Amino acid sequence: MSRTRWIFAGFLLAASLLSAAIKPTFGGEIRIRLGEPATFAFSPSNYSNLVFYSLIYENFFYLGVDNKLRTNLFSGYRYNSKEHTLTLDLRPNLSFSDGSPVTSGHVYKSLETFVSRNLLRARKLGKSIRRMRVDGNSVVIEFAYHIPDVVFLLAVPELILQADRSSTFSGPFVPVEWEQGSHIRLQANIHYPGGRSYLDHVRVVFTDAQSPDIFLSTPGRFDEKSFSEYNAGIFQNIYLCFPGETVGKNTRMALYSLFREYFLSRGYAELNALTTDSESPVTINMRRLSLRRVRSVLRSSRIQVYLQSSMKREEEPLLKFLESKGISIQSRFIEDGQLRNFLQGASMEYLILEKVFQQQMPLEEKIRRIVSELTFGRFNAQYLQLVNELQEVNRLNNEEMLLDQVARIIGRIIDDAFLIPLCQKRYSMFVSRRLRGFHMDVYGRPLLQGVYQP
């Protein structure tokens, strides 16, 4: 063989070896450390849940960090600006995790479920919809007015494709094993509309006993030798709420002092604003009581504090904390989906909620979310007027006037004394450097479908 042919053969061999080295392969299992969810029913009220449910439920659209939309469900979508209609064309031959067909009826019902949720984005979409209909393999949404970027309203993590049965899933993985307090094992969904993942399994672990490949933690906590750090662009706030109107000032201060100390002891950061301290035009300075005073105020009170079911992880440590302080308070957990109905049909004086915000979300939108989603029965005409004024000021593109209006709303909330910020937690996502194909979306969720182990 000539020298030229030897060189050419060597080149082909090297190229084939390189191709084999970087080609993704199917198989394997990775471990992701999250908080234990209360149920498989969709409830993305905290960042950990936001990540978990993205593994088993499919979104209508994904918004990338490049601000580009993509979808695994629709072969096409088109907006008619004259008729104010958005048509979603469902891809043919899609299936849920049990092999049952995905129909345009499921898309329709999933949209109905979303717009009924107590969320600002759901309300915004719901108020703009005049009617919806199924047209063969398509869903047509008719709006009351022109919305140029309407499809972006559908690219939110809370809008998911749901099946008729709660045991059927639409996401890239399917739960196959749940050992309480230890782990949930997920198996690749062979019917996933986006294509089967390279991984066979994902083990969601709840303790540090098993070294995770992916986990959430405080930014800057780990070195870069073993893990790559991704800024989640997320912060999570916890609020103490008083939905009723009869809670005395001393009781509010006592509960604020008590629960603030508890969450700070759990690694949360201080929060003296409704959103973040750095961006807020108003600092909230709540008086804190001593433990002796807290005991005195709460001694004769029969207090039952409600918490979202997504905070079930706090049940045992909270009980131990209260026992160590010599304070008797009962706790009760309620499902997120039942919260709104429960508030309307029963008396609830004390409530602890958590909310996830994107850091890049404009301040005025964060305030609108808080007013819309956390004011409950007090979301009356006066608050609605304040929010409408905030929207009008925002259109004027005057930052000083905007901050003044935000300050007015925050001041009103604090004066009405029904919502007090307790603490905040910021997150980074840490990913083992041995994994390949890792990406995140704009909501800080890992897209594990393309992840593989070389």
Angle between helices 249-265 and 291-298 (to 10 degrees): 130
Q: pLDDT (tens digit, 9 = 90+) per residue, 354-364?
A: 999 998 889 98
CA distance 333 to 246: 22
Torsion sign, CA atoms 169, 172, 178, 184: negative
Q: Is the pLDDT of residue 310 over 80?
A: yes
For the chain, the helix, strand and coil percentages under 3-state DSSP, each to the nearest 5 = 35, 25, 40
| DSSP code for 448 | G
Contact assessment for residue 86 and residue 141, using Cβ atoms and an 8 Å cutoff: yes
pLDDT band at 418 (very low <50, low <70, confident <90, very high): confident
- Both tokens assigned to 291: 């433990």
The full set of domain ranges for the chain reads: 58-169, 232-427
| pTM over the 0.75 mark | yes
Give the chain's radius of gyration (CA, Å): 25
Condensed to tens digits (0 to 9), the pLDDT of residues 41-67 reads 898 888 999 999 999 999 999 987 778
Would you tell me how many other CB atoms lie within 10 Å of the CB of residue 451? 22
Phi, psi of 27 (to 5 degrees): 125, 170
Per-residue b or e along 342-363, where b marks 16 or more CB atoms closer than 10 Å to that residue's CB: ebeeeebbbbbbbbbbeeeeeb
Beta-carbon contacts of 407 under 8 Å, excluding residues fewer than 6 positions away, are 281, 282
Give the whole-angstrom CA distance, residue 245 versus residue 298.
18
Contacts (Cβ under 8 Å, ≥6 apart) of 317: 266
Residue 163 has pLDDT above 50, yes or no: yes
- Beta bridge partner(s), residue 431: 214, 228
What angle is formed at CA 196 by the lines to CA 48 and CA 168, rounded to 5 degrees?
Answer: 60
* Superfamily, domain 232-427: Dipeptide-binding Protein; Domain 3 (3.10.105.10)
Question: What strand order describes the sheet that includes 85-90?
Answer: 74-80, 85-90, 138-143, 129-135
pLDDT of residue 223: 66
β strands within 18-104, DSSP E: 29-33, 62-63, 69-70, 74-80, 85-90
For residue 29 the two structure tokens come to 């299992």
Secondary-structure class of domain 58-169 per CATH: alpha beta
Q: What is the pLDDT of residues 246-286, one digit of tens each?
A: 678 888 899 999 999 999 999 899 999 999 999 988 888 88
232-427 matches 58-169 in CATH topology: no
Average pLDDT, the chain: 87
Q: State whether the Cα torsion 367-369-374-376 is positive or negative.
A: positive
Report residue 221 as tokens: 């906590």
